[in-house]
């Protein structure tokens, strides 16, 4: 954390700016998305023997382009990788490290397959998906805030949880099957 404090501060500040543009009182992006993703990514990096620094920095920056402008949504994985690259080059990181970080950011949305992706990419993509399993209450509150009725909100959250779980690597699906099944038992 201390090592990359500058980046934590940058993304935290940008998350707060983003929340204001969304005019959504409960949209606490830093606390309920970025922090869980970073925390889970580091945990998975340790568990799976990945490069912890690559995973941590990639997780910090993974949605940066989205936080700057929601219009970047469709391309935010590519734009975010480019933005992170510029910052990391300026800060003197070596090319190999930067390339690995950027690959994780670029591929955090794609469904992951063990044989095709580096273990670092898997950690970041799985952590992104896992954050939704960790924040079911926040997801429900968000939909309610948008004015959805209970049935619609339930369906949205259920779909989001299923999609997130299906996106995860087999390794992480096995690891978090209990949590996933418990959530699906509660939602109807």
Q: Using CB under 5 A as the criterion, which residues of the chain lie in contact with Fe ion when the complex forms?
A: 63, 128
Give the nearer residue to Fe ion in terms of CB position, either 63 or 121: 63
Q: At what angle do helices 136-145 and 150-167 cross, to 10 degrees?
A: 140
Q: How far is the CB of 106 from Fe ion (least distance, A)?
A: 11
The neighbour count for residue 28, using CB atoms within 10 Å, is 18
Give the nearer residue to Fe ion in terms of CB position, either 159 or 181: 159
Q: How far is the CB of 33 from Fe ion (least distance, A)?
A: 6
Q: How far is the CB of 163 from Fe ion (least distance, A)?
A: 13
Q: How far is the CB of 31 from Fe ion (least distance, A)?
A: 14
Query: CB–CB of 124/106 below 8 Å?
Result: no
Instruction: For residue 58, give every residue at least 6 positions away whose Cβ sits within 8 Å of its Cβ, in sequence order, or none.
Output: 41, 84, 100, 101, 102, 104, 105, 108, 120, 124
Give the nearer residue to Fe ion in terms of CB position, either 77 or 143: 77
Tokens coding 174: 């096995």
Give the nearer residue to Fe ion in terms of CB position, either 62 or 90: 62
From residue 1, how far is each of 39, 78, 119 by CA, in Å? 10, 25, 21
Give the nearer residue to Fe ion in terms of CB position, either 129 or 183: 129
Apex CA 120: angle with CA 106 and CA 86, to 5°? 45
Q: How far is the CB of 62 from Fe ion (least distance, A)?
A: 6
Closest CA to 78 of 97, 100, 63: 63
Give the nearer residue to Fe ion in terms of CB position, either 17 or 94: 17
Distance from C-alpha of 147 to C-alpha of 86, rounded to nearest angstrom: 40
Q: How far is the CB of 80 from Fe ion (least distance, A)?
A: 8
């Amino acid at each position: 954390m201390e090592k990359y404090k500058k980046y934590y501060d940058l993304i935290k500040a940008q998350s707060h700016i983003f929340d204001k543009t969304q005019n959504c009182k409960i949209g606490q992006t830093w606390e309920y998305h970025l922090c869980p993703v970073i925390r889970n990514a580091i945990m998975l990096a340790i568990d799976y023997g990945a490069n912890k620094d690559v995973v941590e920095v990639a997780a910090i920056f993974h949605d940066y382009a989205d936080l700057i402008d929601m219009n970047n949504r469709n391309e935010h994985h590519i734009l975010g990788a480019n933005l992170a690259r510029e910052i990391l080059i300026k800060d003197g990181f070596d090319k190999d490290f930067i390339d690995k970080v950027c690959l994780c950011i670029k591929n955090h949305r794609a469904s992951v397959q063990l044989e095709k992706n580096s273990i670092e990419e898997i950690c970041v993509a799985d952590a992104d998906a896992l954050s939704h399993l960790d924040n079911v209450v926040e997801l429900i509150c968000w939909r309610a805030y948008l004015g959805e009725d209970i049935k619609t909100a339930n369906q949205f959250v259920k779909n989001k949880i299923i999609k997130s779980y299906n996106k995860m690597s087999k390794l992480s699906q096995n690891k978090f099957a209990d949590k996933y099944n418990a959530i699906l038992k509660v939602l109807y």
